[in-house]
């Protein structure tokens, strides 16, 4: 009975923690993307490229951007997530904390096939702790951590693209 209550409490806390992240990324002041990027398409390569491209595409769609066949292309290349142990229990030798790192290269190519944003590296990190009291929760923690990492990566990519000198809106 106590175990079930703890499990339910854990799920409640996890759901409450994810609730604010559900609002997603919105561009500053709800501004639309610059005219040069209207119809922006997103592609990704690598083991995490598809998930990261989908996260970016969802953020763009929330702002009203709908990918167009002839539109500019945001390329996310060689995307992958690496994981390493950053903390081990001295008494049991069990890993207690992990660090997930998202690696990728991003670039933007215009509809005229000219480079609008030269390739640049993306590196995002997110740590999560292992619950030694519930070993089965580790997989769920890892999945949640990587989902959050993709959302953070998508926000970072959009910040970089929209704030790059070639796309930044000029003040009136």
113 occurs within a structural domain: yes
**5 lies in some domain:** no
User: How many domains are contained in the chain?
Assistant: 1
Flag whether pLDDT at 164 surpasses 50.
yes
Whether 22 is covered by a domain: the verdict is no
Query: What percentage of residues in the chain have a pLDDT greater than 90?
Result: 36
Higher-confidence residue: 97 or 49?
A: 49
Q: What is the CATH number of the domain that holds 122?
A: 3.30.160.150
Note the pLDDT of residue 7: 62
pTM of the model: 0.72
Residue 58 has pLDDT above 80, yes or no: yes
Residues 7-20: what's their mean pLDDT?
Answer: 57
- Sign of the CA dihedral running 130, 133, 139, 143: negative
* Residue 127 within a domain: yes
Q: Is residue 169 part of a domain?
A: no
Residue 86 resides in a domain: yes
Q: Quick check: 135 pLDDT over 90? A: no
- How would you class 51 by CB atoms within 10 Å of its CB: exposed for 0-12, middle for 13-18, buried for 19 or more? buried
Residue predicted with more confidence, 22 or 149: 149
- What percentage of the chain carries pLDDT values higher than 70? 73
Question: How confident is the model over 102-128, as pLDDT tens digits?
Answer: 999 999 998 888 999 999 999 999 887
Facing residues of 27 across strands?
A: none
What residue numbers bound the domain in which 44 lies? 38-163
| Distances from the Cα of 10 to the Cα of 74, 97, 130, 137, angstroms | 38, 18, 13, 10
Q: Within a domain: residue 1?
A: no
Let me know if residue 27 belongs to a domain.
no
* pLDDT at 66 (0 to 100): 83
């Amino acid at each position: 009975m106590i175990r079930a209550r703890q499990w339910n409490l854990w799920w409640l806390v996890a759901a409450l923690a994810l609730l604010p992240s559900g609002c997603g990324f919105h561009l500053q002041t709800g501004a639309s993307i610059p005219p040069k990027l209207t119809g922006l398409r997103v592609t990704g390569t690598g083991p995490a490229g598809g998930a990261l491209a989908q996260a970016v595409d969802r953020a763009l769609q929330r702002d009203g951007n709908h990918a167009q066949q002839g539109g500019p292309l945001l390329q996310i290349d060689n995307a992958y997530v690496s994981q390493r142990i950053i903390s081990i229990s001295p008494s049991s030798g069990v890993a207690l904390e992990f660090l997930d790192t998202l690696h990728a290269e991003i670039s933007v190519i215009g509809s005229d096939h000219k480079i609008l944003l030269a390739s640049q590296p993306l590196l995002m990190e997110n740590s999560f702790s292992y619950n030694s009291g519930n070993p089965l929760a580790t997989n769920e923690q890892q999945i949640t951590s990587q989902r959050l990492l993709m959302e953070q990566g998508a926000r970072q990519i959009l910040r970089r693209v929209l704030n790059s000198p070639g796309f930044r809106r000029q003040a009136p």
